Structure 1
Amino acid sequence: MAQSTELSTTVVSSPALAELAEHTAKYVEAGLAGAANTAKAYAGDLKRFGAWCAEHGLGPLPASVDTLAGFVTYLAESGKKYATIERHCAAIAKAHSLGGFDSPTDEKKFKVLLQGIARVKGIRQKQAPAFSLAVFKRVVKNIDVSTPAGLRDKVILLLGFSGAFRRSELSALNIENLLFSEEGLIIELAKSKTNQLGEAEEKAIFYSPELAICPIRTLRAWVKQLDRVNGPVLISIKRNGQPSERRLTDKHVNLIVQRYLGTSFTAHSLRASFVTIAKLAGADDSAVMNQTKHKTSTMVRRYTRLDNIREHNAASKLGL
């Protein structure tokens, strides 16, 4: 036993292993990290939790079950949606994991409370609406591409829709990710929300017979105007109307989509509309998933916006 203790002391005091332990902590933190937007939301959630704990003289880390119960009750009574409350809990759970503490979210008492909040508030989330293909074509054709801003915006709409991109993926695109050919365009993806390990993933974009709505020809024209072989595809526009070298943020991608489609839509509507229109055209789930990079058919069905109760209803096929 004494020998084991002595060995343990030697291991802990080893400078080499101490340095390795620091690297281990770095990898553990990376393993617990998520998508950039999720991390940003978690940071805000933890800041809110910390401020609430400070106001009430409570410890945020590790937090007791009663502390967390009080916090989520406060969120619920403040009118927060269930999805928002759930995200706060996920952020707090991750903070405890990073700190090496047991999370109060795992306690049965807390889970019962969360279920009660879900029953009272409901768990239905507001989803980005889809648009019709006819409306989308009309909007795109009306964009003035005589200016750099107009051409860039047309790229955002056409590429976002045809590639079923998330706005963060659009923002992250680099020119070196684009592989043009006579058959179409292959876009190599870096990390994404569902691909945190950076595995090889690609999206295929195809030519349209209509020049005014062709995503590849529009993108080619834009890249030619940038006159670069690498760097961000989507960039901000200077006050003089010329392209800058600064990458466009995903927030601005969303604002640009809303400028053309209306404030009831978001950049996510491009992705949701791809799924809905593709499904209406007869595409099976596997073909849709090959572009969206969803992992399950369940997520594809969740994205499909077939909410016209008269147009999409089996009751009309009963033969009555």
Structure 2
Amino acid sequence: MSPDAPRDPAFDTQDGPAPPESPAADVGSSTGETPAEAPGGLPSPVPGATTGLPRHLEPLADRARDYIKASSAENTRRAYGADWRHYTAWCRRQALDPLPPDVQTLGLYITACAAGKAGPKPDAVLTIERRLSALSWHFRQRGLAFDRQDRHVATVLAGIRRTHGRPPVKKEAVLPEDVIAMLETFDRGSLRGLRDRAMLLVGFAGGLRRSEVVGLDVGPEQTEDGSGWIEILKDGMVVTLRGKTGWREVEIGRGSSDATCPVVALQTWLKLARIGHGPLFRRVREGGKDVGPDRLTDKQVARLVKAAALAAGVRADLPEGDRKGKFAGHSLRAGLASSAEVDERYVQKQLGHATAEQTRGYQRRRDRFRVNLTKAAGL
């Protein structure tokens, strides 16, 4: 911390020896400068790669940067990069050094985040926890130690949780009848309408995350930014996805009619869009008459679900302002988990949940009041 920064007694460190000087202490400064970073806000895999690296090793450094980018999802990299910039900007305004990590500085930082002193509004508890995870990652990539269990951080975070913690606000699940109504809002005579029908049905029937939907390729000959592919079979299709812990398969069976069948919708889209390889869901251009090579983004899935749900009148019992915040890409995934009347093991496998408790979180909402213990007790 800066010697001029005000000290709270809770952050006094006179009860122990000063930490050893980090070899990276001269890397950061009060200006918020950090070591060379790879694209996406990631630290360079080779210290001094832009200056002192022998020329014959530069291709390896470039490849190492590519592997660093591939080690995490694009959304994660984007969020971690934004969190790092948020932290270093706050340090710069407070005349504090972002590097090496200082637990007192970090304790004050998360306090500022919770109090609305590090941005335009107070951060939610989950946002603060994500920021700490991002900072931990950045410190590790620079070979610097950061103990999140240190009292200056852990105790402050515990207090923030008790003071500001709220149940997470979950997006509204779209049920099968909602999906059918949403399908009717699409133009079946346009490429964009055919694409949107296929995206909606595949996302719902597969219980896929929005990033998984747009990350699909047509076949296993993947593009560099692809995260999975499809294989259409007689009884349905198999979606192969790359997750945090490896590859997994999701089975999507054929529907009870062609009008609501995800496989038929996808085959129709592929045929009329003339897509034989590469990204599965792409931008439609030139007035809706031509399909480009560019993959859609996950934000477009969220916008699609929200627009279709509002147009179809889903949850019309709510005020218009409330309805607009109810739906997003996750509504499809939550909808399958909430409506599938099958053994939870099958739902857990389909969604790729690590534990059954995650799956039960969806099914509890479905099963509310199914068993009325008040009446069962005789009241």
Counterpart-to-counterpart distance in 1, 2:251 and 2:194: 21
User: Which digits, 9 at most, give the CA deviation of each residue in 1:132-187, with x for residues without a partner?
Assistant: 32222222244221101111111111000000111111111111122112211112
User: Which digits, 9 at most, give the CA deviation of each residue in 1:55-110, with x for residues without a partner?
Assistant: 11111122211111111111101121000000011111111111111114231331
> Is 2:301 the partner of 1:253?
yes
Deviation at 1:305, TM superposition (A): 6.0
Counterpart-to-counterpart distance in 2, 1:32 and 1:158: 28
Which residue number corresponds to residue 273 of structure 1? Answer: 335
Q: Quick check: 2:69–2:77 contact (8 Å CA) kept in 1?
A: no
Which residue number corresponds to residue 257 of structure 2? Answer: 210
Counterpart-to-counterpart distance in 1, 2:297 and 2:86: 24
> Is 2:111 the partner of 1:73?
yes
Question: What's the TM-score once normalised by structure 2's chain length?
Answer: 0.71
Q: Quick check: 1:33–1:39 contact (8 Å CA) kept in 2?
A: no
Counterpart-to-counterpart distance in 1, 2:277 and 2:69: 29
Counterpart AA for 2:254: Y
Q: Quick check: 1:131–1:269 contact (8 Å CA) kept in 2?
A: yes
User: Which digits, 9 at most, give the CA deviation of each residue in 1:174-206, with x for residues without a partner?
Assistant: 1112211221111222x23x34xxx33211111
| Cα distance change, pair 117–200 in 1 and its aligned pair in 2 (3 A) | closer
Q: Quick check: 2:339–2:366 contact (8 Å CA) kept in 1?
A: no
Which residue number corresponds to residue 281 of structure 2? Answer: 234
SS in 2 for 1:306: helix
Q: 2:267 aligns with which of 206, 212, 220?
A: 220
Counterpart-to-counterpart distance in 1, 2:182 and 2:375: 34
Counterpart AA for 1:315: L
Counterpart-to-counterpart distance in 1, 2:88 and 2:297: 28
Unaligned runs of 5+ in 1: 1-14
Which residue number corresponds to residue 315 of structure 1? Answer: 373
Question: What's the TM-score once normalised by structure 1's chain length?
Answer: 0.84
Counterpart-to-counterpart distance in 2, 1:51 and 1:60: 9
Using the TM superposition, name which of 60-69 and 268-277 deviates more: 60-69
Unaligned runs of 5+ in 2: 1-52, 117-121, 220-228, 311-323
Identity, in percent, stands at: 28
Q: CA RMSD in A?
A: 2.6
Counterpart AA for 1:318: A
Q: Quick check: 1:186–1:205 contact (8 Å CA) kept in 2?
A: yes
Counterpart AA for 2:106: L
Q: Quick check: 2:136–2:146 contact (8 Å CA) kept in 1?
A: yes
| Cα distance change, pair 187–52 in 1 and its aligned pair in 2 (3 A) | same
Counterpart AA for 1:41: A
Which residue number corresponds to residue 54 of structure 1? Answer: 92
Q: Quick check: 2:107–2:152 contact (8 Å CA) kept in 1?
A: no
Counterpart-to-counterpart distance in 2, 1:266 and 1:200: 25
SS in 1 for 2:365: coil
Deviation at 1:125, TM superposition (A): 1.5
Structure with greater proportional helix content: 1
Which residue number corresponds to residue 151 of structure 2? Answer: 108
Which residue number corresponds to residue 185 of structure 1? Answer: 237
Deviation at 1:236, TM superposition (A): 1.0
Which residue number corresponds to residue 8 of structure 1? Answer: none
Using the TM superposition, name which of 79-88 and 235-244 deviates more: 235-244
Counterpart-to-counterpart distance in 2, 1:308 and 1:215: 27
Deviation at 1:123, TM superposition (A): 4.4
Counterpart AA for 1:201: R
SS in 2 for 1:105: coil
Counterpart-to-counterpart distance in 2, 1:137 and 1:316: 35
Which residue number corresponds to residue 64 of structure 1? Answer: 102
Counterpart-to-counterpart distance in 2, 1:157 and 1:73: 41
